[in-house]
Structures are given as C-alpha cells and as structure tokens.
Amino acid sequence: MFRRLTPVVRVLLYANFIAFGLTLLLGERVFDIFGLQPWDSARHSAPPFEPWQLVTYAFLHGGWLHIFSNMFAVYMFGPDCESLLGSRRFIIYYLACVVGAAVCQLLVTQYLYPALGPTVGASGGIFGILLLFGMAYPHRQLLLLFPPIPMPAWLFVTLYGLYELWLGVSRTQQGVAHFAHLGGMATGYVLIRYWRARAGNRYYH
C-alpha cells in the first residue's frame, strides 16, 4: 500500500506539512508574507509582492483538503519522476515549475484577471510532475476516481491540461489558479526538452 519514498519527495512532504502546521498556529499573517501577492498589490493597501514569494507560496495551503490532495499527488507521481531524473535534477525541475507557475499567475492577474488575494499551493510544481510522468511513462495506466475509468498517462495529462485551459479561459472555477497550473506544465515541458536535447533524447545524464 505504501510506496517507497525517494529523498526529495520525502523532504517536500515534510516541508509542506510543517508549513501547514505553522499556518494553523500563526494564522492568515503567514499568507500575507509568504503567499504569492500580485505585483501591484501594494497600491491597493494589500501586502506587497516580495521575490521570495515566487517559491514560498508553493509550501502553503488553504485547508486540509487542499494539502492532502496536493501531497497525495506528490506521493503518487513524485517517486517515479525523481528516480528518473535523479534527486538533484528533480528538485531543480520541481522548483523551476513552481517559479514558472508563479510568473504565469502574476502575468495573468496583472493583465487579464485581477487577483482577490494571494495565491498559495503546490499545484504548479505538481502539474510539472504530472507532465513529466506523462511524457516519461506515456502508456502507464492510471485509474481515475471520478469516474473510475482507466486511461494511459499521456491521455490523462493531455485531457487534464486542456481541462485546466478551459477552466481558466471560461473562469468557471474562480478562486483556483488554473493558469498557474498551466504555467507549471509549460515550464516543465521547456525544461524537459532542453535536458533531452543536451542528453541525446534522454531525461538524465
């Protein structure tokens, strides 16, 4: 039932749950300082954007369901991706997807859809992991929960990405950073293509 945790995945799980515990203890002030604030938030008497928020926002979560669903995805897909890339490249990949997701979210909230508050959550990095998993193990069968339909990983990732794009454009689920999810995927794709080109069409060296 319990799969073997790789080193970086274990650290990510610990770090996220510790940060969640601190949020419960310290309250909303944590989101003000470490959540991803819009670039122009200071103009509106809101907490200002700070550079460290490009990373720290990904270790904060808005509730028990939020953190458990995100960490379950890290637990399920992270070990295979870390074993493929190696721990060093995996943490670089994950953090790059986190930052790429943050930049995408900042651009969208600046020019398209103004944000009502800070962005928090690890989903940008997780969507990068999903993309890598789908590209590295395209024919691995995944079983959806709702509905319980098996499908290959490449199809699941493709459909999920298109679904996120539709949700973002249509603004069907406001309050969810759909473009951050897409930004994490896009960053992951660029990094994978770069590494594969340098390593002779492999994911590692």
Domains of the chain: 7-198 (1.20.1540.10)
CA distance 100 to 157: 18
Highest mean pLDDT among 24-38, 104-118, 164-178: 24-38
What digits encode the pLDDT tens for the residues 131-171? 999 999 998 888 766 667 888 888 888 887 776 666 656 55
**DSSP string spanning the chain?**
-PPPPPHHHHHHHHHHHHHHHHHHHHTTHHHHHHSB--TTGGGGTSPPP-TTHHHHGGG--SSHHHHHHHHHHHHHHHHHHHHHH-HHHHHHHHHHHHHHHHHHHHHHHHHTS--SS-B--SHHHHHHHHHHHHHHSTT-EEE-SSS--EEEHHHHHHHHHHHHHHHHHHT-STTS-HHHHHHHHHHHHHHHHHHHHHTTS-S--
CA distance 171 to 162: 14
Task: Look at residue 2 in the predicted model and tell me its pLDDT.
Answer: 53
Lowest mean pLDDT among 53-67, 77-91, 140-154, 169-183: 169-183
Assess whether pLDDT exceeds 50 at residue 76. yes
Q: Which residues contact 68 (CB under 8 A, 6 or more apart)?
A: none
- pLDDT average, residue stretch 86-98: 97
Q: Which of 163, 72, 171 is nearest to 116 (CA)?
A: 171
Assess whether pLDDT exceeds 50 at residue 204. no
Share above pLDDT 90 across residues of the chain, in percent, rounded to a whole number:
51
Task: Look at residue 39 in the predicted model and tell me its pLDDT.
Answer: 83
Lowest mean pLDDT among 88-102, 145-159, 177-191: 145-159
CA dist list (Å): 167 to 175, 179, 199: 11, 9, 36
| Residue 41 or residue 182, greater confidence | 182
Lowest mean pLDDT among 25-29, 151-155, 172-176, 182-186: 172-176
Assess whether pLDDT exceeds 60 at residue 1. no
Assess whether pLDDT exceeds 80 at residue 44. no
Assess whether pLDDT exceeds 80 at residue 111. no
Task: Look at residue 205 in the predicted model and tell me its pLDDT.
Answer: 38
Reading the block at residue 187, the tokens are 């960053």
Assess whether pLDDT exceeds 90 at residue 113. no
